[in-house]
Amino acid sequence: MNGFYYLNDTGRDVNIHPATELHGCKCDMNTIKHLEERFFLLPEGTIPWVKMWDFGDSLSILVSPKEIENK
């Protein structure tokens, strides 16, 4: 199993961008409450690429699997 935990320590609720699921992550898509932890399951052979937006009154997070580059 490949994934990671996100801990919301922002003091605000964090919404999960719908593209998180569309890009192949599996998770509970409900809003992440303050001090709540959320597990994001990623496809094998990937690492998380994470982007967060602050809209002033709300926060959103996008988690997208990124293939590991072999060098």
Instruction: Please give the Cα distance from 3 to 12 (Å, whole number).
Output: 23
pTM value is 0.90
Region 21-41: what's the mean pLDDT? Answer: 97
Region 1-23: what's the mean pLDDT? Answer: 95
Q: What is the pLDDT of residue 71?
A: 56
Whether 14 contacts 8, CB under 8 Å: yes
Give me the residue label for tokens 């409450």: 33
Region 41-58: what's the mean pLDDT? Answer: 93
Instruction: Please give the Cα distance from 52 to 58 (Å, whole number).
Output: 11
What are the backbone dihedrals phi and psi of residue 15, each rounded to the nearest 5 degrees, phi first? -85, 150
Q: Is it the case that residue 31 has pLDDT exceeding 80?
A: yes
Region 48-71: what's the mean pLDDT? Answer: 91
